[in-house]
């Protein structure tokens, strides 16, 4: 907390904006990857369900 007190308000705002920007950039970059991962998982689960129904 001492470090935060030494930094003035302007720098704090800039730092917080920078962190927000980096976070949104990471989300923007990783969204397509997460979509692909979700699609792969969904298809795997669907395949498992098909296998189970065929066994019955």
Report pLDDT digits (tens) over 12-34. 889 999 999 999 998 888 888 88
Q: How are the residues of the chain apportioned to helix, strand and coil, as percentages rounded to the nearest 5? A: 95, 0, 5
Q: Specify the DSSP class assigned to residue 7.
A: S
Q: Does residue 36 or residue 1 have the better pLDDT?
A: 36
Ordered by start, the domain boundaries in the chain are 2-55
pLDDT at 6 over 90: no
pLDDT at position 43 is 92
pLDDT at position 54 is 65
d(CA 45, CA 53): 12
With cut-offs at 50, 70 and 90, classify the pLDDT of residue 40. Answer: very high
Whole-model pTM over 0.85: no
């Amino acid at each position: 907390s001492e470090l935060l007190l030494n930094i003035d308000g302007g720098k704090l705002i800039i730092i917080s904006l920078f962190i927000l920007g980096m976070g949104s950039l990471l989300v923007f970059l990783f969204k397509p990857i997460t979509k692909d991962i979700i699609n792969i998982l969904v298809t795997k689960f669907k395949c498992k369900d098909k296998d189970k129904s065929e066994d019955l």
